[in-house]
């Protein structure tokens, strides 16, 4: 019981507060409120990151460990993306080439860092075994990335105008990402065998499908409730059609506007 209480205090409360603070800072327009949200989120993130030490006996802290090991590669990926996206000057077609190159290098290193966790070493391990949330994270990312690039390729080829090169590029990146996925099923990682990893991939795939179905069901219930309440709302009071006097007044106003307004203007 003491362990459950500690888990609530040291992991779940900061975790829930972290998500709440992030949404708070995103939704508030006032700068002071935004800053409060960011500071709150930062403090909660620190508490979640400390959970492997403050809550070492609980399984939940493995997730805090995952966040900790992902901070490095994720910061590189996000900074890289920021540099790539904002390397073009706003309102112009001028590109800061240095920033773009730096962004591409950061992105590449961020992704390679994640792959290094799997193949080269330092696989995130917690409590004497590979962190199970790391496996979920990595397998899901490997499954979704090629799909996303293939989807972009298909959408651009049908909906894009003179964007064949983009479509081919997205298809090529998707193909490379898919090859990486296949290689993980063939080559053993530093801590996980290819056979085990394949099984984790299958489980993650089923989970992704399950999450999709579950959310779809929730959305169906949601839309059902909204449509029931929309139908139950009383009709708005219908206005009477305009009478002759009102129509005559409207005609005069329109005529005045067409002729250039009132004389005193």
Partner 1 sequence: MNSLDVKKALSLLFLLVLAYFFLVFSLADNINEATSKIYERRFWNAILTSFIIGSFMLLLTLVMYAESRRIRLPPAVGMLVSGGVGALLMLWLLPSLDVQLLEGNGTPLAQLLSNVLRYSATLLAALVSLIIGFGLFYSAMLPSKANIDWPSHREEE
Helix (H) or strand (E) holding 146: helix 132-159
Please say whether the beta carbons of 79 and 104 come within 8 A: no
Closest to partner 1 by CB, 40 vs 135, is: 135
Least Å distance between CB 189 and partner 1? 14
Residue 125 has phi, psi (to 5 degrees) of -120, 145
**CB of 244: closest distance to partner 1 in angstroms?**
37
| Shortest Cβ 105–partner 1 spacing (Å) | 13
For residues 56 and 252, which CB has a smaller minimum distance to partner 1 in the complex? 56
Cβ distance to partner 1 smaller for residue 10 or 138:
138
Cα-Cα-Cα-Cα dihedral sign, residues 126, 127, 129, 131: negative
Six-digit token string for 86:
């904002």
The minimum distance between CB 190 and partner 1, in angstroms, equals 20
Q: For partner 1, which is the closer residue by CB, 38 or 166?
A: 166
Residue 170 or residue 191: which is nearer to partner 1 going by CB?
Answer: 170
CA dihedral 156, 158, 164, 168 (to 10 degrees): 60
Asked if 84 and 104 count as a contact pair (C-beta separation under 8 A), the reply is yes
| CB 231, min distance to partner 1, A | 12
Residue 127's φ and ψ, nearest 5 degrees, are 60, 40
């Amino acid at each position: 019981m003491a362990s459950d209480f500690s888990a609530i205090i040291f992991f779940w409360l900061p975790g829930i507060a972290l998500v709440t603070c992030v949404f708070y800072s995103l939704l508030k327009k006032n700068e002071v409120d935004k800053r409060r949200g960011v500071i709150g989120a930062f403090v909660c993130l620190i508490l979640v990151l400390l959970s492997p030490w403050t809550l070492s006996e609980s399984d939940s802290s493995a997730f805090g460990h995952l966040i900790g090991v992902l901070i490095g590669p994720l910061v590189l990926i996000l900074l890289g993306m920021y540099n790539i996206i904002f390397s073009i000057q706003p309102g112009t077609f001028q590109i800061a080439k240095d920033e773009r190159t730096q962004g591409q290098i950061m992105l590449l290193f961020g992704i390679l860092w994640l792959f290094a966790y799997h193949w080269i070493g330092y696989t995130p391990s917690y409590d004497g075994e590979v962190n199970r949330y790391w496996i979920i994270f990595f397998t899901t990312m490997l499954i979704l990335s090629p799909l996303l690039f293939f989807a972009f390729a298909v959408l651009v080829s049908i909906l894009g105008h003179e964007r064949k090169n983009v479509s081919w590029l997205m298809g090529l990146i998707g193909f490379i990402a898919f090859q990486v996925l296949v290689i993980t099923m063939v080559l053993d990682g530093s801590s996980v065998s290819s056979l085990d990893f394949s099984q984790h991939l299958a489980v993650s795939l089923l989970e992704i499908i399950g999450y999709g179905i579950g959310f779809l069901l929730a959305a169906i219930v949601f839309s059902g409730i909204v449509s029931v309440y929309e139908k139950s709302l009383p009709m708005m009071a219908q206005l009477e059609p305009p009478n002759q006097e009102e129509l005559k007044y409207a005609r005069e106003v329109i005529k005045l506007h067409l002729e250039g307004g009132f004389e005193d203007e």
